[in-house]
Every structure is written in C-alpha cells, then in structure tokens.
Amino acid sequence: MSLFAKKSLDQMLAHAADGEKGLKRTLGAGNLIALGIGAIIGAGLFVRTAAAAGQAAGPAVTLSFIVAAIGCAFAGLCYAEFASMIPIAGSAYAYSYVTMGELVDWIIGWALIMEYALGAATVSIAWSEYLNKLLGGAIPYEWSHSPFESFTDSAGVLHSGIMNAPALIILLALTLLLIKGTQESALVNAVIVFIKVAIVLLFIAIGWQFINPANHTPYMIPEGTPPVLDNAGKVIADYSGWNKHGWGGVLGGAAIVFFAFIGFDAVSTAAQEAKNPKRDMPIGILGSLVVCTILYILFGHVLTGVAPWQDFVDPEKGREASVAYAISNFMPGYEWLSQAVTLAILAGFSSVILVMLMGQSRIFYTMSNDGLIPKVFGELHPKYQTPYKANWLLFLFVGAFAAFVPGHVAGDLTSFGTLFAFVLVSIGVWILRVKSPNLERPFKAPLVPVVSTLGALICLAMIVGLDAQTLKVAFGWMAVGLVVYFAYSRHHSKLKNT
C-alpha cells in the first residue's frame, strides 16, 4: 500500500452516519460557539498575554494578537469548509486522510497530540498558579511546580519544585465529567463561559480608566534592551534575538499567543456530535474566533496599559497571575475585583481543559477506528457512549506533563502543533478544490487559493518565530511519531487491510 493512500469521502461520511455505534449528536450551534469560546478564552488570555509581552512584544502584544488572528482567520475559513463537508470527529487529522494520504494524516494526528494534550497540560499548570494566588501562596512551591523549575526568593533561599499536585487534581475531576457525557460537559462549559466573558468585559471596562500612556511608550521592545536577571543573577529574559524586539518581537509574540486561538480547532473535533454539522460547524468555528479576537485585543491593550510590561517578566511579580497582579498593584479601590477575577479565571481555565481533553479523546477515537493506534482508544462506554478508556489514558499522559514539565515548555509545543495543523488544513482545502471540484460544499472558503495560501504562509512564519529549543523538541517528537507509524500503525491500518 502506498504511504499516501487516501480515505474516500464516502467512507468518511458512512462512518459519520453510523449513529447507533458512534458518538451521540447532541450539540447545537450555540453549544459549539460556547465550546470554541471555552477553549479560546483561558490561559492564552490570562497567562500567555503577559508572557508574550514580557518575553518578546512588550505593549505591542496587541499587534501580536492581530497577526495571530489574521492567520487564524484564513485557517478558520478552511476549517469551516472541511467541517461542513466532513462532519466527523478528528479535525485536521480526518481532513488530511481525505486530501493528502495516510502518512501525512498520521503526522498531523501525532502533531495534534501536542496541540490538545499539551494544551490541556499547559492550562492545568496555569490553573494551579491561579489557585495558589487565590489562596495567598498557601500551596508550597515544591508541590505546585515541576522538578525543572526553581527560584531564589528575596532572602536568598533556593526553592525547587517536586510536582504540580493541583494540576493533577483538576485534570482528574474534568476527566470524570467527560466520561459522564458530552451534553453534560457542554452544559457545564456554557455556564463557565458566561462567567468568564463577563469578568473579561468587567476588567476591560474598569481597567480602561487606569491605563497609563507611559506604559505604552515605546510600543515595541527597543533593540538593545538589556537582559533581565532574577535575584540570583540568572537571566530570565534575553532580548538580543531577532524575534525578541521590534517587529520581530511582534512576530515572536504572535507565536506565543497563538496558543490562545486553538479553540475554533477544538470545535471541529466535535463535528460528529453536532446535530446539524453542515450549518452549525462554520457558525461555531468562525463565530467563536471573531468574538474572542475582539476581546483579546482590548484585553491586551488594557493589561499592558495598567501595568508596565517589564513587570510581566519576573514570575515573582506579574507573569504567573498577571491580571490579579495588575489589579492589586495599579487599580486602587478595586482590590475586591482581584479575588473575583482570580476565581472566575479558575473556572475559565477549567472549561479550556475540558474542551482540550474532549478534543484529544475524539482524535484518539478516530485514529483508533482507522487502526493507526490500538483499539482501546476507540472503545465507548456502554452507558454514556463516550470514549472513556481514551479519557483515562489521556489523563495519565497529560497528568505526567502537567505534574513534571514547566508550563512555558508545554505551551510553546502546543503552539507548534496548532500551527502545523493549520498549515496542512489550509493546503488541504486547495488540494481538494483541485482534485474534487464538484463535491458538495455547504460552506465554501472565499478566494481559494489566495486565502488558503496566506493561511499556510502566515502560520509557517509563526512556526519560525518560535524559539530554537521548542523547535528542536517538536521535531524530535515528530521523529518519534514516524517510528511509531512504521513500527505499528502502518501494519494495523484498516485502510491497508481493506
């Protein structure tokens, strides 16, 4: 069998139509928009915004959001076309099987593990950070950070992490909810989304009056900005690289905050559980993207206007809990809002983790049905019709990262997986337009191949904007994936056996 053998669209649709044996169709357009917002507004907004400002973009993080949003808009149009045509679980993985063949399909499926599984790990780490902030630092540093993290406090005492226990606890709770059912999970997510959007709007409205114009001058990090050191003299931020200052820093910041936009991709993984996917999937994907982009730009402008971007470099100051830090230190009279925001952010992070875990388990479900990974990942619960074994295995994998890997490492790898998926989906739409121009397309992305080409190129540019260490680890992960494919998946492929 050719490494690039393709699955026919008829095979895909026949599998999606098998409602009795497959996933239940319980989600409407409103549920899908809420799932998208639930995944988009979370760590990307409340943690990655400050990280991008402090490490690369400065106040120009708003421009980073615009760059990332443009790339997402092009990719989102391509996703919407695919999701309306191929309404099955699996997202970019499923689309690649139809357009580019099994090997490319496997590569994107392996990359999506970085997107969803590591995305869930990243947000659970952020959840742990904000919980500790809410509790006034009651959780010891050793039990809320990975073994690879340490810091020297103002008294000169070195603290080293052991494991991130709170991150494991929230992952376990949400895994149990997902096993219970998709509709129940969507209801909980909708309630959380309402709360956290209200809090974001409240912070923007109140924080606007506390913006200090001096904090936006200069708007980009100047070339020659000296590195930032911690109390022990260790460099925690270096601005000498091309993607750490000026317009290069804006692109570098876009690569960091791009993590914030993976929510609409998560919507596409739920296509097989949508009531009317041909109509509802484009609404869910594009609707959640538009709403969240506007909120991101406004939020980034207010956050970097209220507090100087330099304060977001040091974890002891504002990086780990940036919003609460800005309110407590620069918005007198609104200290109560700091606690309310932190509580709402914890709930918001929970919805992001929920959607990420759901998305990854659905990708595992589809890959298992194709024979590329063991069938245990595709087994459904006899009562709840959810891929419960995949959920448990995913908890073990994600939990290991959340407990023992620093958040910024997992977050940057998530950005790589997301960007890589967007590149292939953008290319795939063009390929299918050329090879199968007469297929029914309930939603058509406009101006193809212009839109698809721009989507692929902008996402590739943001991959280049990631730091060298992240790229090395990412390509190492992809190399491991190829070994797994040739050792196991190629021989167990149902397409090959058929």
Q: Specify if 21 maps to a domain.
A: no
Residue 328's SS3 state is helix
**Domain hosting residue 113, numbered range:** 26-497
| Residue at 4 is within a domain | no
Look at residue 20 and tell me if it is in a domain: no
Split into its structural domains, the chain has a count of 1
Helix (H, G, I), strand (E, B) or coil at 255: helix
Query: Beta strands of 230-376 (E only): which ranges?
Result: 235-237
Give dist(CA 333, CA 201) in Å, integer: 18
Residue 198 lies in a domain: yes
DSSP letter for 488, please: I
For position 67, which CATH number holds? 1.20.1740.10
Structure tokens at 270: 């739920």
37-82 pLDDT per residue, tens: 877 776 567 777 888 898 889 999 999 999 888 888 888 888 888 8
Question: pLDDT per residue over 382-437, tens digit each?
Answer: 887 788 898 999 999 899 888 887 766 666 777 788 788 888 888 988 988 888 88
In a domain, 8, yes or no: no
Which of 41, 120, 37 shows the shortest CA–CA distance to 345? 41
Count other Cβ atoms within 10 Å, centred on residue 156.
8
CA dihedral of residues 414, 420, 423, 428 (deg, nearest 10): -110
The pLDDT of residue 90: 65
- Enumerate residue ranges in the chain where pLDDT < 50: 19-20
pTM of the model: 0.75
285's tokens: 């994907």
pLDDT at 197: 87
User: pLDDT value at position 458?
Assistant: 85
SS (HEC) of 15-63:
HHHCCCCCCCCCECHHHHHHHHHHHHCCHHHHHHHHHHHHHHHHHHHHH
* Cβ within 8 Å of residue 179, ≥6 positions away: 381, 384, 386, 388, 391, 392
Residue 15 inside a domain? The answer is no
Structure tokens at 59: 């106040």
150 part of a folded domain: yes
Q: Is 246 part of any domain?
A: yes
- The answer to whether 368 and 394 have CB atoms below 8 angstroms apart is no
Q: Is the peptide bond before 374 cis (omega within 30 degrees of 0)?
A: no
